[in-house]
Amino acid sequence: MLCPEVWDFKAPQHYFKVEHANYLTKDLPVTIKTHYFNHSVSVVLPDTVSIPEDLPNSLLEDTDYYRIEALNTSELVCKEFIEAFIKKGELSLLSIGKKIDLHNSIAITPTGHLIISLVHEDFQKLGLEGTPSFFDRKVQTRHVVTIDLKEENFTPGKKNYERVRESLEKRLPEKFVAIVAWDPPDEKLCPSSIGAWFHSRGYSVSLCQQKFIRRSEYSIKVPIIEEHANYDKLFEWLGVFSIGGDLVNGKDGDYVNTYQCPEPAVLVGQVQYLQWTGFFTRKQIENIYKVLTNYTRTRERLPWSSLDVQGFEDCPVSWRLKEHTFTINGDNSYTMILQPSGEYLLRTSLCSNNKSRAFQ
């Protein structure tokens, strides 16, 4: 009996995009501005012994968020809520504990859009306009309802508002567990106001804080960025380092690990790894981006620094209002490699739009 080539499978399709720009001459990257739901952030600093306090603190101070139990979706169209938190500052809300390809989910983007992703049966019961899911458009097993909470005519007494409110109250009884964060328009206002508001409405509200870890690696090679470098190898090295992989075992014939640092490379004394995990708004990501670029430009001999941001796998949107799903995985992430000169590489990564096919 012949042995099948079980190792000879094609890699799943995946979307990657790499672009070059200069953070000294370009405004905040659109990739950061339009990625609304961020779950983890990591920074790598080669040839670095001490880290400035404002770097870790940039994602630890005033970045608390809140967990709301048994949330009614109809609460999110309350006029008081819209006026206080949607039209003032930026609010980010995401249901958790749901599988985006199997269950209902909700989200509010900082642009003021309420996203309701529903299985077909619940969508039919709801009675609101929506679009078939891009990923199930042929069989239409899922629909997405998008409501602009900032629309001028979306106000009590108006026909559209009353229809939406009644549909959510009477025909969407499901309660969600959600996390929420609010970036107020003024420093005098407290971000905790959002938690207090839901508590005043009778909800069980829990304070959540970001988790932070720091790791140092000693005497390892790091790749150097050159004009014609293999960027795939560079990002691969960064991934291996970030998960704590073995970067020094380069023995020929070692089946378990034959990884070698891509050339050209330089041996450095220390590499610092910082990681924050939790729920981060785009404003908070913008803050650490500014801190990191300012720090990088002051370190003329720094090989580079990197910023990696991972989104939530089961988030209903990836960038802007682009629908997201979970096929092979739920990847929606981006990585930036910054240089003291101002040049940077930006790689965007997104899971495939194609579902796995079952062969008979």
Q: Which residue has the tokens 């929420």?
A: 180
In which element (H, E) is residue 157 found?
Answer: none
At residue 359 the predicted structure's pLDDT band, cuts being 50, 70 and 90, is very low
- pLDDT reported for residue 216: 95
**Does the pLDDT value for residue 358 go beyond 60?**
no
User: pLDDT per residue over 140-165, tens digit each?
Assistant: 789 999 999 999 999 999 999 999 99
Give the burial class of 306: count Cβ atoms within 10 A of its Cβ; 0-12 exposed, 13-18 middle, 19 or more buried.
buried
Query: Lowest mean pLDDT: which of 23-32, 170-179, 251-260?
Result: 251-260
Starting at the edge strand found earlier in the chain, the sheet holding 38-46 runs 14-22, 343-351, 332-338, 305-311, 38-46, 265-280, 211-223
- pLDDT reported for residue 139: 72
Q: How many CB atoms lie within 10 A of CB 44?
A: 24
Q: Which residues contact 30 (CB under 8 A, 6 or more apart)?
A: none
Percent of the chain with pLDDT over 70: 89
- pLDDT reported for residue 202: 97
> Residue 13 and residue 27: Cα distance in Å, rounded?
32
Of 25 and 270, which is predicted with more confidence? 270
Of 177 and 360, which is predicted with more confidence? 177
Of 163 and 61, which is predicted with more confidence? 163
Query: Lowest mean pLDDT: which of 41-55, 105-119, 299-313, 325-339?
Result: 325-339
| Residue 40: half-sphere exposure toward Cβ, Cα within 13 Å | 15
User: pLDDT per residue over 298-318, tens digit each?
Assistant: 999 999 999 999 999 999 999
**Does the pLDDT value for residue 67 go beyond 90?**
yes
- pLDDT reported for residue 252: 57
Structure tokens at 121: 């049966």
**Does the pLDDT value for residue 360 go beyond 50?**
no
Query: Lowest mean pLDDT: which of 139-148, 326-335, 338-347?
Result: 326-335
Own/partner pairs, 325-328, CB within 8 angstroms, 24+ separation: 325/100, 325/101, 325/133, 325/135, 325/351, 325/353, 326/99, 326/100, 326/101, 326/351, 327/101, 327/135, 327/351, 327/352, 327/353, 327/354, 327/355, 327/356, 328/12, 328/13, 328/14, 328/352, 328/356
- pLDDT reported for residue 50: 92
> Residue 173 and residue 120: Cα distance in Å, rounded?
15
Report pTM.
Answer: 0.90
> Residue 245 and residue 113: Cα distance in Å, rounded?
40
At residue 281 the predicted structure's pLDDT band, cuts being 50, 70 and 90, is very high
Query: Lowest mean pLDDT: which of 43-57, 130-144, 188-202?
Result: 130-144
8 A C-beta contact, residue 292 and residue 306: no
Span 188-203, mean pLDDT? 96
At residue 12 the predicted structure's pLDDT band, cuts being 50, 70 and 90, is low
8 A C-beta contact, residue 43 and residue 242: no
User: pLDDT per residue over 77-108, tens digit each?
Assistant: 999 999 999 999 999 999 999 998 889 999 99
Which amino acid is it at 78?
Answer: C
Which amino acid is it at 8?
Answer: D
**Does the pLDDT value for residue 290 go beyond 90?**
yes
- pLDDT reported for residue 71: 98
Span 57-68, mean pLDDT? 92
Q: How many CB atoms lie within 10 A of CB 150?
A: 11
Report the mean per-residue pLDDT for the chain: 90
8 A C-beta contact, residue 206 and residue 70: no
Which CA distances in Å does 118 have to 51, 104, 283, 329?
Answer: 45, 5, 28, 20
